[in-house]
Amino acid sequence: MSAHNASGTVYGLLAEFDSPSLLFEAVTQCRDKGFKHWDVHTPFPVHGMDEAMGIRGSRLPFIVLAGGITGLILATLMQWWMNAVDYPFVISGKPLFGLPAAIPVMFELTILFSAFATFFGMWGLNGLPRLHHPLFSSRRFRRASQDRFFIVIEAQDPKFKLDETRDFLASLGGLAVEEVVDAADGAESVEG
Amino acid sequence: MAHHHAPSLDDTKTTLDGLGRKVFMISGLVGVIGLAVTVVLGLGEGDDLRHFSFSYLVNFAFFLSISIGALIFVPLQFVTKASWSIVVRRMAEVMASVMPVMLVLAVPVLLLSGRIYGWADPAVAGSHGLAHKAAFLSGGWFTARWIIYMVLWTVFSWYFWRKSLKQDDSGDLALTRKMENMSGFALVVCALSVAVAAFDLLMSIDHLWFSTMFGVYYWSGGFVSFFAVLTLVTMGLQNTGRLTRIISPEHFHDYGKLMFAFTFFWGYIAFSQYMLYWYANIPEETGWYLLRSQNGWGWLGLATVFATFVLPFCGLISRYAKRNRKMLAFWAFWLIVAQWINLYWVVMPEFSDSFVFSPMDVTGFLGVGGIWFAAVTRLAMGHSLVPTRDPRLENSLRFENA
**How far is B66 from B51, CA to CA, in rounded Å?**
24
CA dihedral in degrees (B313, B56, B104, B161; nearest 10)?
10
Per-residue pLDDT reduced to its tens digit, A95-130: 999 888 999 999 999 999 999 999 999 999 988 898
Kindly list the domain boundaries of chain B, sorted by start residue. Answer: 14-397
**DSSP string of B113-155?**
HHHH-GGG-GGGTT-GGGTTTTTTS-HHHHHHHHHHHHHHHHH
- Quick one: which H or E segment has residue A8? strand A8-17
Of the candidates B52, B29, B26, which has an alpha carbon nearest to the alpha carbon of residue B41? B52
Of the candidates B85, B267, B251, which has an alpha carbon nearest to the alpha carbon of residue B183? B85
Predicted complex: ipTM over 0.90: no
For residue B399, what is the nearest residue in chain A, using CA coordinates?
A: A47
Q: Which of B3, B253, B273 to mutate to test the interface with A (most CBs of A within 10 A)?
A: B3
Q: Which residues of B touch A (CB under 8 A)?
A: 1-4, 271, 274-275, 278-279, 281, 318-319, 400, 402
- Quick one: which H or E segment has residue A60? helix A60-80
Asked whether the beta carbons of residue A48 and residue B400 sit closer than 8 angstroms, the reply is: yes
Chain B contact present for A46, CB below 8 A: yes
**pLDDT value at position A3?**
58
Of the candidates B259, B370, B254, B380, which has an alpha carbon nearest to the alpha carbon of residue B311? B259
**pLDDT value at position A5?**
60
Of the candidates B66, B121, B135, which has an alpha carbon nearest to the alpha carbon of residue B96? B66
**pTM, 2 dp:** 0.88
Phi, psi of A154 (to 5 degrees): -80, 150
**How far is B62 from B68, CA to CA, in rounded Å?**
10
For residue B275, what is the nearest residue in chain A, using CA coordinates?
A: A100
Within 13 Å and on the Cβ side, how many CA atoms surround B394?
3
Mean pLDDT in residue range A171-182: 87
pLDDT level of residue A189 (50, 70, 90 thresholds)? very low
Kindly list the domain boundaries of chain A, sorted by start residue. Answer: 4-56+133-187, 60-126
pLDDT level of residue A7 (50, 70, 90 thresholds)? low
Per-residue pLDDT reduced to its tens digit, B262-282: 999 999 999 999 999 998 888
**pLDDT value at position B54?**
95
Q: What fold characterizes domain A4-56+133-187? A: Alpha-Beta Plaits (3.30.70)
**How far is B266 from B221, CA to CA, in rounded Å?**
6
Instruction: Using an 8 Å CB-CB cutoff, list chain B residues near A57.
Output: 319
Per-residue pLDDT reduced to its tens digit, B130-142: 878 888 888 788 9
Of the candidates B82, B227, B74, B67, which has an alpha carbon nearest to the alpha carbon of residue B161? B74
Per-residue pLDDT reduced to its tens digit, B337-371: 999 999 999 999 999 989 999 999 999 999 999 99
Residue B144 has pLDDT above 70, yes or no: yes
- Which residue from B2, B279, B318 is facing A24, i.e. has the nearest CB? B2
